[in-house]
Amino acid sequence: MAITTTPAIPDSPQALRIREIVLDYFKRTGVPNHFGWTGMDPHVKGESLEIAKGWNLGVSDAVLEKYLTVGLVIAITAYRHTPFDVQVAIALYSLCTTMVDDNIMEHEMLRECPMRLFDGRPQLHPILTRLVEALVTMRQHYSTYSSNVITINTMEFINTEMFLRDEGGAEVRGPQATEYVDYVRWNAGIGEAYAAMIWPRAMFPETKTYIQAMPDAIRWICLVNDLMSYYKEAKAGETDNYVSQRMAACGQSSLDTLTDVVNRIVNLGEHIAAVLGDTPEKKAWDVFSGGYTEFHLYTPRYFLKDIVPEYY
């Protein structure tokens, strides 16, 4: 008889406390009730990989597949309620933004991206060229308002990233800096773009049916990412992240700050549910919220199997 064992949870006080906070998020929101991961969809993967390999991005197939896997997991988990071609578009968009975020190209190439987009000039790197094409593809799947949101928020992401890389951000000096910390996070997190992608035009032709949920959804997306990525960041000794910045502004410990993040996530989720009511838009949100959380569980870079092995 085969004997299965549950992987050991790291016994450091910090790891155990982060585990407690993540499980508190699960319990208070009931988000595991909306988990639905059944593995990589071979059709979405095959189509996305075929397109991406034809892009000639200047990286090896192994590197390309590493980044594409991030895009595929978020598309297949968080957006599994959307049509096949929308999932492919999201996977390819996420491939490009993930590569942009990882210092693959020279800073000057990235710095020029927004100006070149709005001036109609060619981009300076093939990844940026394909990112612009991905933004154009989004117009096939989303309302005019939502597709513009995706484009503008993507440029805000690049603009904020370049500010942080060029100048290191502004010094955080006490409670008055909390709004600045949040401002940078909402712009750098691409939360608005990923919120808009929840409701494709083919399923939700009227923007007005979900737009009231957008402000809270933007923050929810960024904060859930901050929560679910914190173990990885703490493990690596990173301090240049939202929790650390917010901790410095509020004058409290990192784990107290992480607890505050969960409280905010819970409140935002309740408000989104109240705004959307008993509607198809709310059902789409439920699928997304479960899938977006699962995205972090099934993306190896977050190492969450270390602290919540029972969800694997």
Overall number of domains in the chain: 1
Q: Is residue 7 assigned to a domain?
A: no
HEC-encoded secondary structure of 17-39: HHHHHHHHHHHHHCHHHHCCCCC
Query: Residue 6: what pLDDT?
Result: 53
Q: Is residue 1 assigned to a domain?
A: no
Q: Would you place residue 8 in the very low, low, confident or very high pLDDT band (cuts 50, 70, 90)?
A: low
Residues 108-132 have pLDDT tens digits of: 999 999 999 999 999 999 999 999 9
Q: Is residue 220 assigned to a domain?
A: yes
Q: Would you place residue 28 in the very low, low, confident or very high pLDDT band (cuts 50, 70, 90)?
A: very high
Q: Is residue 58 assigned to a domain?
A: yes
Mean pLDDT of 16-23: 97
Query: Residue 2: what pLDDT?
Result: 37
Q: Is residue 4 assigned to a domain?
A: no
pTM score, two decimals? 0.94
Q: Is residue 46 assigned to a domain?
A: yes
Q: Is residue 190 assigned to a domain?
A: yes
Examine the pLDDT at 1 and tell me if it is beyond 60.
Answer: no
Calculate what percentage of the chain has a pLDDT beyond 70.
97
Mean pLDDT of the chain: 94
Residues 170-220 have pLDDT tens digits of: 888 888 899 999 999 999 999 999 999 999 999 999 999 999 999 999 999
- As a whole number of angstroms, the distance between CA 241 and CA 233 comes to 8
Give the number of other CB atoms < 10 A from CB of residue 47.
17
Residue-number span of the structural domain to which 97 is assigned: 13-198+208-311
DSSP string, the chain: -----PPPPP-SHHHHHHHHHHHHHHHHH-GGGG----S--HHHHHHHHHHHHTS--SS-HHHHHHHHHHHHHHHHHHTTTS-HHHHHHHHHHHHHHHHHTTT-S-HHHHHTHHHHHHHTPPPSSHHHHHHHHHHHHHHHHS-HHHHHHHHHHHHHHHHHHHHHHHH--PPP-SGGGHHHHHHHHHHHTTHHHHHHTTS-TTT---GGGTGGGHHHHHHHHHHHHHHHHHHHHHHTT--SSHHHHHHHHHTS-HHHHHHHHHHHHHHHHHHHHHHH-SSHHHHHHHHHHHHHHHHHHTSGGG-GGGT-GGG-
Residue 32: CATH number of its domain: 1.10.600.10
Q: Is residue 37 assigned to a domain?
A: yes
